[in-house]
Structures are given as structure tokens and as C-alpha cells.
Amino acid sequence: MNRFKPLFLIGMGTLGAPLAALPARAEDELRLSPAIQLSVTFGDGFRFGLGLDLRATYIVNRDGCENLDAGGAGFFGQAIWYIGQGARLALGVHGGKVFDNQSTSWDLDLGWTYTLLSGLQSRHGFEAGLILAGYPLEAFANVNVSFPENAKVVTEGQLGLGGRTPAFFGDGGISCAVGRPLRNNGEVCRGPVALALPSDPRRTPRRSTESRLLGLSRLEDARMEAASVPAFLALARDLRAAAAPPSLRRRALIAARDEVHHAALCSTLASRLLGARADALIPPTPPASTATSPRNARSPYEVTRLALESWRDGCLGEGAAVVRAQAERDASRDPETRATLARIIHDETQHAELGWDVLAWGLATGGRPTRDAFAADLEQVSATAQDRITERSLPRARALLDHATRPTHT
């Protein structure tokens, strides 16, 4: 039966090569999601299979976060080696979306199949299937109707389990960036984690897989919130060096204090879900760039940097964080989680407004270089916008730019 192994390997390569050749930038629109699957096929005898499933999904309805009411459709390819009995290839289309809890998803597929069994018996057919996924695990079932040469139609069923990463439409509740991101030399940083394991694990109640996944999601939230503390401290420092209004600097410091509370609240939620104390620690504030020295702080370059960062990280980024938190609050039935998210929604709304006010100050202060840079960035965002929070922000951003370009601001 070893002669079927080359067919299995050739099939995997045939399916994977065209999709792997997609350009890297396509990750913003297309997600490649491979899985290893174990299955049992019945109806025309029992066959146990080991397979590779690869799906290319065009993701829509992300609202600034990958897994916020996300769904999509695309193509799939599958190669199954029936251990000791043959192999099967499948190609087709698929589509689905995440459930309201954002930790599980469903996906339907329909495709063509080619089966080659021992004795060189080959047949074409088609299949229809359903996958229920709770990242990174999944269960699936499908029905396959095939047409052997000179034989009656064969109908088979298939059940199986698999592991997939990344998920179809979002990594099982793993969050996108929360709060203002901390950048150091162009890299987005997260807060480190202090983990205290229970002294006697045997006395610690076991957590379900869903609870642990949600706990990891909350811990990732906590890390991003903790990293936002030095991000706002750096913003306050740079605004002071650029002689921005004291009210903007004061609000940046208040935002840093808010993020301390957010990190603590998310760490508490994560610890409860994980069954072990996990705290996100606040990283150090990055040093000021040479452009922020007293001699250069009021330069158009520095004002432009502050304006564009506030546009991307504040107006858009924290605006998306508000939408995401609102959706999670509405879907949650846990009082502690709802209270935490209500606090975050209130504060992040204020932080987004701070971003808009810093942008308005930058457009009024930075002159034509800042306005031209923002206009170019706004055009790029408009051309690539795929979520509702960005689309809702565009009219306000254009109004700010139009106001800044009036003769009184030149």
C-alpha cells in the first residue's frame, strides 16, 4: 500500500503551492488556514484517514479586529491518505462565520473529489461538509457521493477531528491591539507577564479548553493595556516638548493612569479563567527620539509624527477598541467581565477623542507639511478601508483637513 503515499504527498504539494505563492500583503484580505485531520469514512466499508486541509478565506466584516462578527468565503483543498487502502483529493469552495461568542465558528464547503483505492479503483464525485471549530480544535462531518466506472453510485459519510492554525476568521477570541500601542524602534511591544503557579495544582479546579483560551485572550488584552501606559507617557512627554496645549498633555497623563487600571482588571479576569495568577507588567517608557530634542521638537517633522500617530493609533485604533469592547460586553453573561468592559469602553472613548484633538492641533500647528502628509495617509486609508469604524471616521477626518486648509490656517 506504500504506492499511495506518493499520491498523498503530491496532492498536498499540488494544493499548497498555488496558495503559498500569494503575496505577503494578501494577508490583509486572504487568510491561509491549514489543518491536520484524522477521520473515519463509512458507507462503502470503513477507512481511517490522515489528511491535510488547506483553506484560503477572504475575510469580511472585521470592524478593525479580526474576529469581531467576522465571516468569509474562499477555496479549499484537501488530501487524505486512507491508511493502507488508498487516497482522496478534494477541491472546492467554502464559507462561514464566527458565532456570537467569537470563540467558535462554523464553515460549510462543497467540492469535487477524486478517490483512488487499492486495486486501482478510481472514482470522481462531490462532497458537502460542515466544520465546527473552537480554536485550535475542530470537528467535521461530510457526505461524499461518487461515481465509480461501470458501477452503481456510492454514498459515504465521514466524521473526524482536527487541529487548525490560524483559525478561519479569527484566532478563537485572541484579541487585536487594545489601547494605544507601544512602539520601540518601529516594533509594537507588549507588556511582560508575571505568572504565579498554584502551590498545589491538585487542589486547583480544572479549567475547560474554552476557559483557558478565553483566559489567554484576556491576558493578551492585559499585556496590550499595560504597554499603553508608557505609550501615553511618551505622548505626554513629546507633546510637552512640542509646546502643545497643557490640556492635551494632561489628558495623555490621565489616559496613562486609565491604562494602569485596565491592565489590572484584565489581569484579574485572565487569572480567574486560567486558574493561576497572571499579571501583565508595565514596560519602560521608550527614550525620546532625536527629533524630540528641544531644538527639533517644534519642527514640522515632529508635529507631523504626533498627528499621524494619533490618527492611526487614537482615532482609528482606539475607536476600533471601543467597538470591539462593546460587542464583547453585549455577548458576555459574566457580571465581572461586563463591568470591566464598561469601564474600558468609557475610558477608550475618551482616549479616542484625545487622538482627534491631537490630530486637530497637529494640522493647525504643523503647517502644509503636516497637512500634506495627513492627506496622503487619509487617501491610503480611504482606499483600503474594510471595516465600519474606519469608514465612519473618514468624514470627520476630511472635515478636519478641510478646516485646517482654510486660508486662516496657512
pLDDT in tens, 97-125: 877 545 678 999 999 999 988 776 788 99
Is pLDDT above 50 for 293? Answer: no
C-alpha cell at 197: 503557579
State residue 88's pLDDT score: 93
Higher-pLDDT residue of 198 and 73 is 73
Is pLDDT above 70 for 137? Answer: yes
Domain membership of residue 121 as a residue range: 4-164
Higher-pLDDT residue of 263 and 23 is 263
Half-sphere exposure of 176 (CA within 13 A, CB side): 23
pLDDT in tens, 295-329: 454 567 889 999 999 999 999 888 888 888 887 88
pLDDT in tens, 144-198: 998 887 778 889 999 999 998 877 775 443 344 467 888 777 677 777 888 776 6
The total of structural domains in the chain comes to 2
pLDDT confidence band for 238 (50 / 70 / 90) = very high
Tell me the chain's radius of gyration from C-alpha atoms.
26
CA 302 to chain centre: 31
Nearest alpha-carbon partner for 248 in 306, 316, 295, 188: 306
Q: Does 239 share its domain with 312?
A: yes
Q: Does 141 share its domain with 287?
A: no
Q: Does 143 share its domain with 195?
A: no
Nearest alpha-carbon partner for 136 in 112, 164, 115, 95: 164
Where among 129, 164, 199 does a domain terminate? 164
What's the CATH number where 35 sits? Answer: 2.40.160.20
pLDDT confidence band for 391 (50 / 70 / 90) = confident
As a residue count, the chain comes to 410
| Inter-residue contact 230 to 283 (CB < 8 Å) | yes
Q: Does 223 share its domain with 322?
A: yes
